[in-house]
Structure 1
Amino acid sequence: MTLAPLSVVPLAALLSAGLIVLLKPLLQRYALARPNARSSHRVPTPQGGGIAIIAAALITAAVLAMPTGIALGGVELPVLALSVIALAAVGAVDDIRPLPASLRLVIQAGAVAAVVLTVEGRLLPDMPLWLERAFAILAGLWFVNLVNFMDGLDWMTLAEFVPPTAFLFALGLAGRYAPEPTLVAGALLGGLLGFAPFNRPVARLFMGDVGSLPIGLIVAWLLFRLAGQGGLDGGLAAALILPLYPIADATLTLLWRLRRGEAVWQAHRSHYYQVATVNGFSVRETVGWVFALQVALAALAGVTLLWPSRAVTLACLVLAAGLVGWLLRRFATPRAASA
């Protein structure tokens, strides 16, 4: 892969920021998020900034595909782009006028299935293909939704996914990741960075479902492609480690809510990162810890790729789980009690 993809990050960042400046008056008028009992903000704030992130990522990737030597004759990238657009459209409508959960779930499942059924590579070669695909669709559907669930604090989605996308982009530049996902990772990274100044605490703009849902799908696809490289002692372990914090936070929160008999489809403020702000952590401290953890997880993922042995993989998985568990426990403990 040439050095041409280096331009994808700054171009996507500039385009994302420029689109936000142009669209913000419309979002202020038509997509205003008003605070309620479950909100983390206290004043009405426009949402929908994810439009700029996704548009910048798709446009930049499309424009730079041929200059970076990527052939556009296959179906994988077009299907990914169309599925991302479909989820963005659903999210945009839902940001303005909430849709029934059942309708959202059906559209999300269709988008995830389309991507999974056209993705290259195998996740678990020893498993029957139909079972692997079914498992991947369920995992992808949960990942799309958990990214949406975890977008409840200023800069949180950036803290979770800037380190992994930067890692995957660097991996591709080093020749250890396929050109197509490398370009997409760089385009998404740039889109997120362009959005960052507008979402810094206290945010002047929220991402909205129009951004979080398609970002979840793009990252899921990037992880699927990574998992297909080298089996458990390589890409699969790295793909498990990179998103471990949001997966753990969202999944454990869901299980606790199910155990308490709560309506899990309703909005709430019981994620660990939300509890942290109740327990004495500022928003900046919370997202700072998550960002630092994601950087550490990216480093561990890199170790599994550099030294692909069963012992190293197991050690990295255990260490990653330990770090995530430590931070979740820290967030769940009131500051006064932990002092």
Structure 2
Amino acid sequence: MKVYLTLMAIAALVAYVATPAMRHLAFRVGAITAVRARDVHTTPIPRLGGVAIFLGLAVAGVVASAVPFLFPVFEAGREAWAVLGGAAIVCALGMVDDIWDLDWMAKLAGQFLAGVVVASGGVQLVTVPIGGVTIGSSYVSLIATVFVVVIAMNAVNFVDGLDGLAAGMIAIGGMAFFTYTYLLARSASPGDYSSLATIVVALLVGACLGFLPHNVHPARIFMGDSGSMVLGLMLAAAAIIVTGQIDPAVISERESIPAFIPILLPIMVLAVPLVDMTAAVIRRGLRGSSPFSPDKHHLHHLLLRRGHSHRWAVTVLYIWTAVLSFGTVSVVFLSPAGAIAFTAVGVAAAAAITFSPRLARFFSRQWRRLGHALFALQRVTPEGRHPASARHDAAPAAAHGLTGASSVPSAPEEEK
């Protein structure tokens, strides 16, 4: 576990440090998101944050290849490098699009190319961990893999419409995915916990966490297509890798229920983006426009129109992602009835906040009050009194000339 958490921290640190440099580069090359009718932001914002995300992934991936504990992963084949290669392709594609606005057909062709690179490196849908279903044809396996990768990339791209939304959702869902893949590696191969899927998800979560401080509302930089497509590809690759780690001969009877998780968990992590993308494709198809034509009817737009603030619209979608992804993983830790109850409570709470902006505002007020109270406690002097009261008591003493050891201590210098 320490190795994976260290890789996560490296990816986060690199992404965090590289993001300001990418912001400066975006201004230099003109990769700026202008204010359009469908946008929520009111001032032009630089893009290319996705390049920083990819740099975090790449640097941490190279470090992982040098860790003796993970040698079996990198010696077994070229899957790890195929995933990073596919991510590099879509990052470059997104960077070009962020600067010059490529046609949607050109972007789709680049996405298919990245999917082919990933699949050609050995990351393919070969088996489905339900009843031992096997895809007999290598061509069908290749097509299925590319299809899954392209769908995941576009799902994340569709939902990337508010500050911190895509990176936060992938980080939250990725933590649930990371927990599952690590436990699966321990169960499937006792004594050797090295797992490519766990590496991929650890790097993904770390890069998102490193980028988020620069991207939360009000955002100083957007990830752009160079980031959203990389996140979608990495998550899809991890899901495809996991499907090959379930061995029905090894898992116990209790673990046979979680055998569905390799299929369900990626869907739950991407549930909100998938719903948003499906609704957008249907909506645009009914009005006869391109599925990739932009509009202002995404889920986050609907939440804003319902009365949620920018921050709470993002928080609502965070909550749904956490409930669905961790609710799915809870099957590993809880009985089926307990997992259902846990998920049901989470869904009820998420629904209440979603459909009641007033309730969200109430929680927001309580959160601010708690923050103010904690801030006030931090400013209490060592003698147990607030600096304001200390100064109030010290004023009469100073007026009567009471100084020296008998006088009331004044507030520390930094508090004055």
Report whether the alignment pairs 1:183 with 2:199: yes
Q: Distance in 1 between matches of 2:7 and 2:14?
A: 10
Match of 2:302 among 256, 270, 275: 275
Q: Is the 8 Å Cα contact of residues 35 and 42 (structure 1) preserved in structure 2?
A: yes
Name whichever of 240-249 and 177-186 sits farther off: 177-186
Q: Name the CA distance, whole Å, in 1 between partners of 2:356 and 2:286.
A: 22
Query: Counterpart in 2 of 1:116?
Result: 119
The 8 Å contact of residues 85 and 117 in structure 2, kept in 1 or not, is answered as no
* Cα contact 2:168–2:212 (8 A) shared by 1: no
Check conservation: 2:26, 2:48, Cα contact below 8 A.
yes
Cα distance in 2 for partners of 1:27, 1:282 equals: 28
Cα deviation for residue 229 of structure 1 reads 4.0
Contact 1:12 1:187 (8 Å CA) reproduced: yes
Q: Does the CA-based 8 Å contact 2:35-2:41 persist in structure 1? A: yes
Query: In the alignment, what sits opposite 1:212?
Result: 228
Q: Does 1:80 align with 2:89?
A: no
The yes-or-no answer on 1:69 pairing with 2:70 is yes
How far 1:184 moved relative to its partner?
A: 1.9
Among 151, 161, 164, the residue aligned to 1:155: 164
Query: Does the 8 Å contact 1:154/1:200 carry over to 2?
Result: yes
1:185–1:222: 8 Å Cα contact kept in structure 2?
A: yes
d(CA) in 1 for partners of 2:356 and 2:173? 29
The answer on 1:293 being equivalent to 2:293 is no
Letter in 1 for 2:92: A
Shift of 1:312: 9.0
Residues 219-240 of structure 1 deviation map (CA, whole Å, 9 limit, x = unaligned): 1111222334448534223333
Which structure 2 residue ranges, 5 or more long, are not aligned? 188-192, 247-257, 362-416
CA distance in 2, matches of 1:334, 1:262: 33
TM-score, normalised via structure 1 length: 0.86
Give the secondary structure class of the aligned counterpart of 1:39.
coil
In the alignment of these two chains, the number of paired residues is 332
- 1:224-261 deviation per Cα after TM superposition (whole angstroms, max 9, x unaligned): 22334448534223333232222122212222222233
> 1:335, CA displacement in angstroms?
5.6
1:189-268 superposed matches below 5 A: 189-230=205-246, 233-268=260-295
Aligned-pair distance for 1:135? 3.0
Identity within the alignment, %? 23
- Higher mean Cα deviation, 19-28 or 93-102? 19-28
Q: Verify: 1:51 aligned to 2:51, yes or no.
A: yes
Partner amino acid for 2:53?
Answer: I
Question: How has the CA–CA distance of structure 1 residues 286 and 70 changed in structure 2, closer, same or farther, with 3 Å as cutoff?
Answer: farther
Give the C-alpha shift of residue 90 in structure 1: 0.5
Aligned mates of 1:65, 1:222 — CA distance in 2: 17
Matches within 5 A, 1:97-116: 97-116=100-119
Residue 128 of structure 1: which of 135, 139, 144 is its match?
Answer: 135
Q: Deviations over 1:111-161 (max 9, x none)?
A: 113323521652364253334543332232111112111111101112321
CA distance in 1, matches of 2:353, 2:300: 10
Aligned partner of residue 69 in structure 1, secondary structure:
helix
Most deviating of 4-13 and 74-83: 4-13
Q: Which runs of 5+ in 1 are unaligned?
A: none
Q: 1:223 to 1:319 in 2, by over 3 A?
A: farther
Q: Which has the higher contact order (CA 8 A, sep 6+)?
A: 1
1: CA distance, partners of 2:134 / 2:328: 24
Per the normalisation by structure 2, the TM-score is 0.71
CA gap of 1:228–1:178, structure 2 versus 1, over 3 A, is: farther
Contact 1:228–1:236 (CA under 8 A) maintained in structure 2:
no
Of 99-108 and 260-269, more deviation after overlay is shown by 260-269
Runs of 4+ in structure 1 over 6 Å off:
none
Cα distance in 1, alignment partners of residues 356 and 97 from structure 2: 35
The residue type paired with residue 169 of structure 2 is: E
Q: Distance in 1 between matches of 2:224 and 2:261?
A: 34
Give me the whole-angstrom Cα distance separating, in 2, the residues matched to 1:26 and 1:81. Answer: 23
The answer to whether structure 1 residue 94 and structure 2 residue 97 are counterparts is yes
Kept in 1: contact 2:284–2:293 (CA 8 A): no
Task: Write the distance in 2 (CA, Å) between the matches of 1:57 and 1:218.
Answer: 10
Per-residue Cα deviation, 1:60-100 (whole angstroms, up to 9, x for no partner): 12112331323423121111111110110010000000112
Q: How big is the alpha-carbon RMSD for the aligned residues of Structure 1 and Structure 2? A: 3.2
Q: Distance in 1 between matches of 2:89 and 2:322?
A: 31
Deviation at 1:21, TM superposition (A): 2.3
- Aligned mate of 1:145, from 149, 154, 176: 154
Q: Which amino acid aligns with 1:186?
A: A
What amino acid maps onto 1:139 in structure 2?
A: V
2:358 counterpart of 1:304: no
Q: Measure how far apart 1:303 and its partner are.
A: 2.7
